[in-house]
Amino acid sequence: MNEINKATAELQAEMEQRMALNPGGTRRIGNFGFIELEECWGDEATIINTARISTTNQRLKNGHDFNERDRNLLYQLLRDQHGTPFETIYFRFRFIAPIFVLRQWVKHRVSSWNEFSMRYRKPISVAYIPDKAARTVDGYAVLDDTVMAEYEALMGQLFQWYETQYSAACTRIDQARESGELAPKEGGRDPYRGRARELLRNVMPVAAYSDVYWTINFRSLMNFFKLRRKKDAQYEIREYADAAYALFAARLPLLAETMQRVIEESEQSPSSEEHAGRAE
């Protein structure tokens, strides 16, 4: 790995800390990727209670109160696509992923998205490096070691160029203030440094990493899992989707089991709709 900037080193230390504090709710992915299921609001009982509100005042306290009738109802609601009860539980994930992965991820629009901004911060100075599995198709390496060495070197050059040019821009701005060419800096962010960051970020590759908070209800999360865990989904987003699913399943195993049952039955059904094309 090339030399990283201070903010990236702090982020790396934070990931290691979160892995230690929440080992069951975190995963590392690839050379710098990370995902954590930070919060979950509601559970299987929430779904059943909201579905039954029109017919009864009986309430379940949590998923441990489920009997066979409750489990069957959960299955039937999901199988028959009664959507709104599944919109009553929410999850907040934090993930660090390459920008090209985010471009696919953000297409799942029924969610809330808060992302690291290179307008206000220097880039995360690490690029995604495809491992052997990522660059192999049916046993054939589409990029050899020579190409990968050049790839890594080029990524490092781009980050170094940014650091050099941003430092030079900051020096020129400071000198202009000292000479009186620019007015002294007042409170808040420096607009001159900010504009330099806005322009210099344009050279950052889509292999650069970003940092995101993603809040989503289960109905939308299930759609994400159905599309992004499929074999024809792109390798990198599938890695994140599989990790997110593992964290979700550990938190709500009954719901995960029921979801998998419904998905598998749907895929095996001769009347199920065929999805045209690959997931983009």
Of residues 13, 12, 38, the one with CA closest to residue 24: 38
The confidence score (pLDDT) of residue 18 equals: 97
| Residue 225 forms part of a structural domain | yes
Answer yes or no: 94 catalytic: no
In this structure, is residue 67 part of a structural domain? Answer: no
Whether 64 maps to a domain, the answer reads: no
- The continuous run of DSSP H or E covering 209 comes out as strand 209-217
Position 183 in a domain: yes
**Which structural domain range is residue 203 located in?**
6-42+89-268
The H-or-E segment that residue 163 falls in is helix 145-179
State the total domains in the chain. Answer: 1
Instruction: Check which CATH number belongs to the domain holding 197 and give it.
Output: 3.30.1360.170
Q: What pTM did the predictor assign? A: 0.91
Considering the chain, what is the average pLDDT of its residues? 93
**Is residue 61 assigned to a domain?**
no
pLDDT tens digits, 153-206? 999 999 999 999 999 999 999 999 999 999 998 888 999 999 999 999 999 999
* Ramachandran quadrant class, 137 (left: phi over 0; alpha: psi -120 to 50; beta: rest): beta
| pLDDT tens digits, one per residue of 60-111 | 888 788 999 999 999 999 999 999 999 999 999 999 999 999 999 999 888 9
Which of 94, 228, 229, 238 is catalytic? The answer is: 228
In a domain, 241, yes or no: yes
Q: Which residues of 121-135 are buried (b: 16+ CB within 10 A; e: fewer)?
A: ebbbbbbbbbeeebb
Residue 213 maps to a domain: yes
The answer to whether residue 83 sits within a structural domain is: no
What pLDDT does residue 272 have?
Answer: 52
